[in-house]
Each structure stands twice: as C-alpha cells, then as structure tokens.
A and B are shown apart, each in its own frame.
Chain A
Amino acid sequence: MSTTAPPGGQRTLQKRRQAQSAKDKQQKQTPASTRQAGFGGSSNSILKLYTDEANGLRVDPLVVLFLAVGFIFSVVALHVVAKITGKLF
C-alpha cells in the first residue's frame, strides 16, 4: 500500500506519524509479556514460566522434590507388586 500511495504531503505524513506514535504508545501501555511489564519471566532466549506466587495449594520446593522421588518409587513398588502377584492386571 505504502509504495503505491502517492508521496504524501505534509498532512498525510503528519497523520501517519501521529498514528505511529499513538500505536507505539498503545503498545507501550499494554505489555505483551511478564518481562515486558517488568516482572521477570521469559526473556529473549530463556523460557521462564513461573514468576508470581498464585493462589493454590502452597507447597515447599523440598516437599516437591521428595514427593517426586516418592512417586517414582511408588511406581517401582507397583511393578514389584505386579511381578510378585503374577497377573495383577
């Protein structure tokens, strides 16, 4: 479009600039990501999902780690039970 349009006079140029600056302003006002809003989060080469503490079941990180290991061992136990009882499933 811009190439086919005849070279604009002052009025169109000004209008265009105004529109551009308005667009810029709007973009500035609504950040597109957590980091753009200034609260950490994913950057250009880092994918960071969690930054804020949302409502939910609060858990301690160590609890998570232990539970994860516990879960894995429970699966191992499941295997063992399945093997001992023969045809559990």
Chain B
Amino acid sequence: MAGFRLIELARPFAPLLPEVELPYEKIGFDDKVVYTIIAALIYVFGQLPLAGVVKDTIEEQGSSVLDPIYFLRGVFAAEPRTLLEFGTFPVVSSALIMQVLAGLKLIKVNFKVRQDRELFQTCTKLFAVLEYVVLANIFIFSGYYGSALTVFQVVLLNLQLVSAGLFVTLLVEVIDKGYGFASGAMAITTVTIATNFVGDVLGVNQLPVDNEGHFEAQGAIINLFQSMRASHKTFAGAIVGAFNRDYLPNLTTTLLVIALAVAVCLINNFRLELPIRSTRARGVNNVYPIRLLYVGGLSVLFSYVVLFYIHIVAFVLVQVVARNDPSSILYKVIGGYASSNNLLYVPQFPLSLLTPPKSFVECITRQPLTPIVFSAFMIVTGVWFAGLWQAISGSSARDISVQFKEQGITLTGHREQGIAKELDKIVPVASTTGAVLLALLVVAGELLGLKGKGASIIVGVSCGFSLLELITAEFQQNGGQSALTQVLGVTGA
C-alpha cells in the first residue's frame, strides 16, 4: 500500500468534472462585488420546490417522513423540499474534512507539487458531488419525498438534486477562483443567512396559519403590527402572540438572534495587539493583531459538519433501515423520530442528546441531559478543530514568523529566533479560546430553542467578519477607482 494515495482516485474523474477557468487578468474590485453577489443571489433563487415530489405527503398524517435535520439547515443554507435540500453542506464538509485529513497526514498530498494540488482539489470536488448523490438517495429512499415513488420520479429527483448540487459547487468555485471575494461557500452561506434573517424579521409574505383561513406574516415585526390591527385578535393577545407563536418566527427569537449577533460582533473585536518593529528601519513601530476568534466561524461550521454526519447516519439507520419502527432494536438503541407540527422530525432519547431542544422549557422538562452533552460536544469538536486548523491552515505561529522574516518585522523585545516560540504561546490559545467562546454562544442560543437560527446567525456574522476583513484589504489595495463605492458614497467605514 506504500505507493497508493487516496487522491489518485480522483484522476480518472478529472476530465469529466467541470472546471472553472482561472481569470486571465486580475478582476477589478467592482467586478468582484458583482460576481459575488450574483453568484449568491443565484443560490438564493435556487430555493425552488422540487418537481416530482408527491404533493400529499403532508396530508398523509402519521406515516409520512418529515425533516430530520431542521436544526442543521440554517448553518448550511439549506431549505427543505427545495433544490437546495442539502445547501452548501457537501461543499463545506468535503472541504473541511479533506483539509483536516491532509493536515493530519492521513491523506498524502504534497502541496508543493502543482499536480498534487490539482488532484487534491479535484478530489475535494468529487467528494462534494458524491455527497450530494448519496444524501439525495438517502432522502429519496427514506420516503421523505413520498413513500411510493416511481422509477421515473426517483430519476427525476436525483437529477434535480445532484445537478443543483453540482451548480452549487460551481458557483462556489467561481467565487473562489478569484472572480469574487475568496470563499464562495462562506459568501453564499452569509448571504443566505442574512436573507433568512431579514425574512424572519421583516418578511411580508403571508402564510396560512390555521384552518379558518387566517394568514400571518413571516416577519416577526411585520406580524406584530399586522396582528395589532387584525380584527380576530385582542390587542394584548396580538402582542403576546407576536412574542410566542411557535409556528413562525416570533419576536422573542428575533431579539435573541439579534443579541447573539451583537455578542459575536463583540468578541470578534477582541484582539491581542503584539508590538512589532521593523528590523530594517529604526523607530518604525506598529502592532500586529491576533484575533481572539482566530479561526472565525469555521470551528462552529466544523462542529455542525460532524453533527450533520451523526444525524444523517442515525437517520439512515432509523428511517431507511428500521423504518422508524418503535419495536426495532435500532430504534431503541439510537432513538427514533417523533413528528412535530407535521413539519419536523424530532429525534428521541439517545439521539436527542445531540439535538438542540425546540424550546427552553422543553429542554428543562424533557431532555435535561441535552445541555451537558450538547455543549460538551460543541466545545470538544470546536477546540479540537481550532487547535488543528490554526496549525495546518498556513497561519500558524511558524508561518507568521516566516512572514515576519520576509517582511523584515520582528516582535519588540524578542530575538528573531524567538518569534515563532513566542507566537506559539499565543496563536493556539487564541484560536481554541475563541472556539470555546463561540461554541458557548451557539449552545446558549440553541438551548433557548432557536432551532438552528442561533447557530446560523453566529456563523453568518463571524463569516461576514472574515469576508469583510478580506474585502477591506482588497479595497485598500485597488478599490481606489471603484465606481461602485463612488455611487454608494462609501467612505471605507
């Protein structure tokens, strides 16, 4: 097995996979903005219902298969029963997992060789597409889209889900390859999370809420005003209803989400400023900031990737194998699903330990162990990932010290040889501590019953910050003649 390398598996598929061309010349600042936004908007536009799904699954009470991963959807920008059933999950998970495996040297890749890098990249893409295929078929055969599908329907659903997945991969690739701002996956996720947030707060679309033909707005604030004026509700009842309706976003969750976003803003701006000076010119002093959230929202993303895998495996075992039958062994060992509101599939006992509760009250009364297990899970995976990622992602203490040497900078009060060691005391601590704080925020939000909205706003805001940093750097370099900023009158704040 000595000569065998996993990435070689991708070689035969390489000519088949579409590959976005690298830009011939440098893309301007404005073009990048436009590319990024358009790619993200196409993604948002892709949240169309799937064709060929059996329509009456919802009426078919009791036996129908409902959404088992509702609390994971926000983070991966996935919408149930649409083309983007799995959102960016396959792309993000394949990128994170391949990189982590390469970092642990479990996959042998020599990143210095161009051919190896290409193969690694193709392998990542192949893995992502493969995940779309596997997930699509898991959902199809679980009966999620209806219990008695014809062959034609199965093929059609596969075709839709997989090609949607392929297009998501390509959209991410377009942004990544330099047409947009760096990370396509993060840009798309952030835009979708922002969209969902606005929809939840200010959404004006009306949805039927009961059998009497009453409609309520999706947006929590819009709903407040609307129900104050509604004739079938008392004034006080309207306000109470706006704060605690559980079928649509309410004001309580909205306020919680905003509080979480502000908290992320706060800890995102915690940084340790190391005094640096130039080794070439005397008296040139500056500071080099090390952010507390050194790995940004990636640690939460990784935790959620692991969580997603756990829940998908459980879903396969319980639903596809055991058909959610309470008498089967698998159901007893893993825990089954109970339907809620005819919309969600809520995991039961052992599995519920890793499931954020639907509300705080339910958390206390029905799953008192969940807070402990869930927070332990988030913290352990987050810290492990943060510790690893800071070392392998090319921004470790040693990489920074090499950068310092190249740029003729040194830490004030340290010899050049001591920089790496000094940074090594700071960077891992920063990244792991940041990961713990972020994990605690996610746990706090999720245990209060945000059903994935808490995690998604945290990922959204922290990814947004990472992107913003990149965009401002880009702007300072070559955004001077940007027509877009002149039109908008942005002053670089």
Contacts and interface: CB of A to CB of B under 8 A. Distances in A.
B466 A46 contact: yes
Nearest to A83: B51
Interface in A4-58: 24, 27-28, 30-39, 41-58
Contacts of A48: 176, 182-183
A61 B23 CA distance: 9
B470 A46 contact: yes
A67 to B, nearest CB: 7
B83 A35 contact: no
Given A36-B392, A82-B51, A45 B95 contact: no
Interface string B159-187: 01001100100111110110100111110
B470 A58 contact: no
A9 B380 CA distance: 38
A56 B171 CA distance: 16
B153 interface: yes
Contacts, number: 208
A56 B48 CA distance: 29
A73 B398 CA distance: 50
Given A42-B393, A89-B52, A34 B470 contact: no
Looking at B50, B153, B298, the one whose CB has the most chain A CB atoms below 10 A away is B298
A56 B122 contact: yes
A1 interface: no
B35 A61 contact: yes
Interface residues of B, number: 87
Contacts of A27: 398
A61 B48 contact: no
Interface stretch (B108-116, B221-229, B441-449): B108-116
B57 interface: no
Given A35-B394, A47-B183, A50-B177, A56 B17 contact: yes
Interface string B1-43: 0000000000000111111111100000000000100110010
Contacts of A71: 163-164, 167
A80 to B, nearest CB: 9
B339 interface: no
B118 A54 contact: yes
A47 B16 contact: no
Given A45-B295, A45-B298, A76-B48, A51 B117 contact: yes
A48 B153 CA distance: 35
A84 interface: no
B45 interface: yes
Contacts of A37: 111-112, 117, 394
A39 B117 contact: yes
Interface residues of A, number: 47
A47 B48 contact: no
B121 A51 contact: yes
A82 to B, nearest CB: 6
Contacts of A64: 18, 20, 167, 170-171, 173-174
Contact of A54 (B23, B122, B160): B122
Nearest to A49: B95
Contacts of B16: 56-57
Interface in B279-294: 291, 293-294
A1 to B, nearest CB: 20
Contacts of A43: 393-395
A57 B18 contact: yes
Interface string A64-89: 11011101100110110010000001
A63 B119 CA distance: 24
A50 B119 CA distance: 11
A68 B466 contact: no
Contact of B14 (A55, A59, A60, A75): A55
A31 B392 CA distance: 8
Contacts of B140: none
Nearest to A82: B51
B173 A79 contact: no
B118 A44 contact: no
A33 B392 contact: yes
B158 interface: no
A79 B19 contact: no
Contact of A46 (B20, B114, B183): B183
Given A44-B395, A59-B21, 4 more contacts: A49-B183, A53-B19, A71-B163, A72-B48
Interface of A: 24, 27-28, 30-39, 41-61, 64-65, 67-69, 71-72, 75-76, 78-79, 82, 89
Going nearest first, the 5 A-B pairs with the smallest beta carbon separation are A35-B394, A45-B296, A56-B19, A37-B111, A54-B118
